[in-house]
């Protein structure tokens, strides 16, 4: 799925009123099929609105210069912690203990690296406004990062939100082979110890599929959020 730049059906979309959280979001079943999951436009990235969106199965995704676009794709890409797949090469890497893992010690650094241009593509959905929003969520204890280090350098990691027993993965990066995968494996193992039910991966990719992520119908995903997702913060991530 790609971020919409212009869409002829934009007049059919729900426009979120600026700074009026009480207006909420439309039912996710009103999301467009093309592009898949585009639900609403506008509003802001306040902490209250973001937490409300995630609990409803909605997330922001837009490029610099665009209005805020809100999405809820169907199906949803998810990873159940017990379904994590570890390839032989990744298992070997884990046994070698090449990388050191930390939690919530370099959130800004992980965010910066995730936002960096990749493969010659300058545009990033992690805009300056998004950076500020997720740094605020980190300061409030909702957002978390996993850092992967090698010889004192940050070479991989990921970040996301933990609400109740659901972790919403946002982005990951890797400067060395397997670095982001090692970060994910460590995160999944910790979440299993903390009885987390689900990791939201948002949209499908072959990379996520290779790690065990699978599609889930949006209706089931929303039902699971109703049971397991709330504003309860994750007090600890590292053991």
Across 8-12, 65-69, 170-174, least confident range: 8-12
8-73 maps to which CATH number?
3.30.70.3550
Whether residue 32 contacts residue 13, with contact meaning beta carbons closer than 8 Å, is answered with yes
Cα–Cα nearest to 154, from 171, 123, 127, 176: 176
Across 11-25, 37-51, 135-149, 211-225, least confident range: 11-25
**Average pLDDT over the chain, rounded to an integer:** 89
Q: What is the pTM of this model?
A: 0.90
Q: What is the pLDDT of residue 235?
A: 79
Instruction: At 215, give phi and psi (nearest 5°).
Output: -75, 145
Token pair for residue 170? 């946002």
77-228 maps to which CATH number?
3.40.630.70
Across 24-33, 86-95, 126-135, 139-148, least confident range: 24-33
Token pair for residue 167? 């972790």
pLDDT in tens, 31-55: 999 999 999 998 899 999 999 999 9
Pairing mode, if any, of strands 69-71 and 38-42? antiparallel
Give how far Cα 206 sits from Cα of 31, 36, 175, 198, 214, Å: 24, 18, 19, 19, 10
Domain boundaries in the chain?
8-73, 77-228
Q: What is the pLDDT of residue 23?
A: 56
Question: What mean pLDDT comes out for the span 10-18?
Answer: 59
């Amino acid at each position: 799925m790609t971020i919409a730049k212009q869409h002829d059906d934009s007049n059919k979309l729900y426009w979120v009123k600026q700074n009026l959280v009480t207006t909420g979001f439309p039912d996710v079943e009103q999301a467009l099929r093309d592009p898949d999951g585009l639900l609403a436009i506008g509003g802001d990235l306040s902490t209250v609105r973001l937490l409300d969106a995630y609990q409803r199965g909605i997330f922001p995704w837009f490029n610099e210069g665009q209005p805020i676009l809100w999405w809820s794709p169907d199906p949803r890409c998810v990873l159940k912690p017990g379904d994590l797949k570890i390839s032989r090469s990744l298992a070997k890497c884990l046994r070698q203990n090449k990388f050191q893992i930390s939690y919530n010690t370099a959130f800004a650094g992980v965010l910066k690296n995730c936002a960096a241009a990749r493969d010659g593509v300058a545009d990033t959905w992690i805009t300056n406004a998004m950076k500020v929003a997720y740094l605020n969520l980190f300061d409030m204890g909702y957002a978390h990062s996993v850092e992967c280090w090698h010889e004192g350098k940050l070479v991989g990691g990921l970040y996301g939100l933990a609400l109740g027993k659901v972790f919403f993965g946002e982005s990951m990066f890797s400067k060395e082979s397997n670095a982001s995968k090692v970060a994910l494996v460590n995160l999944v193992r910790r979440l299993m110890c903390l009885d987390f039910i689900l990791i939201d991966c948002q949209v499908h990719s072959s990379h996520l599929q290779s790690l065990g992520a699978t599609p889930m119908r949006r209706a089931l995903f929303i039902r699971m959020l109703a049971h397991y997702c709330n504003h309860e913060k994750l007090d600890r991530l590292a053991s």
